[in-house]
Structure 1
Amino acid sequence: MTSTDTLSTQRSTEEVVRHHLASLLDGNIDRILTDYDDCTTVFTPDGPVQGLAPLRQLFQNFLDQLPPGSLEKLEVSRQDIRGDSAYLLWRIPGLFALGTDTLVIRDGKIRLQSFAIAAN
């Protein structure tokens, strides 16, 4: 196990969520993907996405559709963490009235995620 693997397995659910949000706000896809691995499945309204290459495309498409500066307006109104699971309720005023993510985190990685948004 490398030192990076050791760090991943030692991260709590809260630490992974915090890192994921910070990486998303930075718009740094490489950093976002460090929270996932090839076994991760993300359920989206368009169907499930699994593996790092498809996840890279998913995040690239999401970030590409955002107007410049819109992530700075992200408001997380609810964040619940229970054991290895987390639920986020968020919005981006003027763009998305509602966004929701549910994550299951094991060994410091997001293993399963559901994601949905409702535009304004």
Structure 2
Amino acid sequence: MSNSSEQVEAATKQVLDHHLGAFAQGVDEILKDYGDNSVLVTPDKTFRGLDEIAGFFKAFVDGADPAFWPAFKITSMSTVNDVAYLVWEARPWVTLATDTLIVKDGKIAVQTFTSFSA
């Protein structure tokens, strides 16, 4: 692995780690991982830019049962170059969820998210 790809992967992991920690601090902190051109793709809608992504996370955070967060558990996590992949659950609300993040210049450029409930 070349030094530059190691640096890219380290930057990707840094953004992923911040993103995971940001949920405890609220939507404003979560949004620090996104830029004006960021895109969040879900099965229901594609959210473009900070305003739409903020609306998605506000609804997600506000709609979560207080017991959701203690139930949150990462089951798989990996980074390859500028891509981060996360598999998680928060039973009984979410039995399986995946996030894929493509990180460019220290921000999440594109994220895909899907989740399943029992």
What is the TM-score when the length of structure 1 is the normalising length?
A: 0.87
Deviations 1:54-76 (Å, cap 9, x if unpaired)?
Answer: 11100011112211131122110
2:99 counterpart (95, 98, 101): 101
Read off the aligned partner of 1:22 and give its amino acid letter: G
Q: Which runs of 5+ in 1 are unaligned?
A: 1-10
TM superposition shift of 1:27: 4.9
Is the Cα–Cα contact under 8 Å of residues 27 and 63 in structure 1 kept in the other structure?
A: no
Query: 1:62, 1:45 → 2: CA distance?
Result: 15
Structure 2 portions without partners, runs of 5+: 1-9
Which residue in 2 is equivalent to 1:12?
A: 11
1:72 aligns with 2:61: no
2:57 pairs, out of 59, 62, 65, with 59
Find the residue that maps to 1:37 and give its secondary structure. strand
Residue number among 25, 28, 35 corresponding to 2:26 in the alignment: 28
Identity rate, percent: 33
Give SS of 1:68's match. Answer: coil
Cα distance in 1 for partners of 2:35, 2:107 equals 7
**CA deviation profile, 1:7-41 (whole Å, cap 9, x unmatched):** xxxx71001000000012x0510000000011001
Distance 1:77 1:109 in 2: 24
The list of structure 1 runs, each at least 4 consecutive aligned residues, that deviate by more than 4 angstroms after superposition, is none
Q: Distance in 2 between matches of 1:27 and 1:59?
A: 12
Count of residue correspondences: 110
CA RMSD in angstroms comes to 1.5
Q: Contact between 1:13 and 1:84, CA under 8 Å: does it hold in 2?
A: yes
